[in-house]
Amino acid sequence: MTVPPDKRTRALHSLLNDIASIAELPFSVRLWQGDVVALGPQAKPGLEVVVRSPGVLSDLVRHPSVDRLIRHYATGGIAIEGGTLLDLAAGHDDDKRRRKLLKKLPKMAFLKAAAPFVTGKGEKPADAMSFVGKTGETAVAGRADRDYIQFHYDLSNDFYRLFLDERMQYTCAYFPDWSASLDTAQEAKLDMICRKLRLQPGETFLDIGCGWGGLLIWAAGKYGVKAHGVTLSQEQYELATERVRAAGLQDQVTIEIRDYGDVDGTFDKVASIGMFEHVGIDNHPAYFGKIRSLLRPRGLLLNHAITRRGKPSLKAFRKQKKEYRAITDYIFPGGEVDHIGHSLTMLESHGFEVHDVENWREHYALTTDHWCRRLYENRDAAIDMIGPEKVRLWLLYLAGVSLGFKRGSINIFQTIASRRTKGPSGLPPTRADLYA
């Protein structure tokens, strides 16, 4: 006997058909009883958003929030099959096109479709393994940086191997051309950093947040520097030291588990690559002050960091969107990105002269695109390592970040600055050699 569809099913079918008549989306929606509705004539076969039960939608209608949606996705109540968020968003990178589509969507049809779900039985999502603890403290108040870093980086080295390049560079690559492989682009990034820092044999070089040691090994092996790296991740430290030994660079490279604030000594050059985002805006004065104290006069700093677009005031800028807060809850606890204007102000007010600022936004869009697709290809192995909930969250995170860079809502800059003194900077008159 065929069971007639209930009110919620009929209402949702009607809404999806209305959307399909307007939109040209590349995917379909599959409902809990198996019905599939394509949301456009170009819908890719097998690329589907799956809703596991009507109770999931009832819960979202009654408690609409980004966090609730993420938890349903992480625990499987809503799923993406046959691809990732990148595939769902394909062809809709243009802001004008998206706004035009949103204006066309039937607002009253949405309300009508939502009505039966308001009274229907809801299905509360389970916890999706967010970070437990406060994430807004300053260093003075006992900020738990080691806990934050280990939450993100100590999933396992094998997990990161599934989607990173051979050298395990977990920061923005630099593509000599857009068709270059990820491995080629990451090597180009390492070399560009060394060239921007004007590394010379025998110089002392500090890498703050050294990851798995790729930059240290490149700088010591190809530029002859004496390199030191610090990290707060046990997993990264163990693999990085193993890689230094394998490269035969024990006499040139040292690594330790230590907060950058506890580092002593004087260095000719300092790099901070993808670490600044972990510091927190309230800690920027201490961060730049510490780096200045570690640099010799006219020593160079390369600060490589993700940013958001500036606002009329820092107070307005620091009001975080729910999507931004979700990233810090589930992926990057303690993370807070700056805007480039404020970062430059902090540099200048803490004894640095800024020489060069370069935007790498499109490079990071492509880098995270590579990471997302590689992780998706290896998702079964990833699930065995960290579980299905974490894998779904990471796929959503990497795809969302890639889309953010593509659309320009987030940026990334490499900034070169020197510890300021009176007189010449010691830098060449042009940057022509960097791009020759």
For the stretch 250-309, pLDDT in tens is 999 999 999 999 999 999 999 999 999 989 899 999 999 999 999 999 999 999 999 999
Q: Token digits for 2? A: 């065929």
Classified as helix, coil or strand, 379 is helix
318 C-beta neighbours (distance < 10 Å), count: 13
Provide the number of structural domains found in the chain: 2
Q: Which H helix or E strand runs over 38? A: strand 36-38
Residue 403: pLDDT band with limits 50, 70, 90 = very high
Residue 145 has pLDDT above 80, yes or no: no
- 235: in domain: yes
- 139: in domain: no
- 27: in domain: yes
The per-residue pLDDT for 210 is 97
Q: Which of 19, 38, 14, 20 is nearest to 28 (CA)?
A: 38
- 132: in domain: no
Q: Which H helix or E strand runs over 253? A: strand 253-257
The per-residue pLDDT for 314 is 84
Residue 1: pLDDT band with limits 50, 70, 90 = very low
pLDDT in tens, 298-357: 999 999 999 999 999 888 888 877 666 666 667 766 678 999 999 999 999 999 999 999
Mean per-residue pLDDT, 185-192: 98
Q: Give me the CATH number covering residue 249.
A: 3.40.50.150
- 135: in domain: no
The percent of residues above 90 in pLDDT, for the chain, comes to: 66
- Tell me the pLDDT of the chain averaged across its residues: 89
- 207: in domain: yes
Burial of 245 (0-12, 13-18, 19+ CB in 10 A): exposed
Q: Which of 171, 155, 305 is nearest to 233 (CA)?
A: 155
Are 75 and 113 found together in one domain? yes
- 263: in domain: yes
Are 188 and 99 found together in one domain? no
- 131: in domain: no
Angle between helices 182-196 and 361-377 (to 10 degrees): 140
Q: Which of 224, 234, 175 is nearest to 203 (CA)?
A: 224
Give the separation between CA 239 and CA 343, rounded to whole angstroms.
Answer: 32
Are 47 and 196 found together in one domain? no
Are 28 and 157 found together in one domain? no
Mean per-residue pLDDT, 384-401: 92
Residue 179 has pLDDT above 90, yes or no: yes
Q: Looking at per-residue confidence, does 377 or 148 come out higher?
A: 377
Maximum CA extent, the chain: 89
Are 174 and 44 found together in one domain? no
Which range marks the domain in which residue 52 is found? 7-119
The per-residue pLDDT for 141 is 44
Are 198 and 277 found together in one domain? yes
Give the separation between CA 227 and CA 197, rounded to whole angstroms.
Answer: 13
Are 295 and 426 found together in one domain? yes
Q: What angle do CA 275, 276, 282 make, to 5 degrees?
A: 140
Are 159 and 85 found together in one domain? no
Give the separation between CA 52 and CA 57, rounded to whole angstroms.
Answer: 9
pLDDT in tens, 41-86: 889 999 999 999 999 999 999 989 888 898 899 899 999 999 999 9
Find out whether 299 and 268 touch, Cβ atoms under 8 Å: yes
Q: Cα dist. 192→187, 317, 341, 355, 356 in Å? A: 9, 31, 23, 16, 13
Residue 157 has pLDDT above 70, yes or no: yes
Are 158 and 36 found together in one domain? no
Mean per-residue pLDDT, 350-367: 98
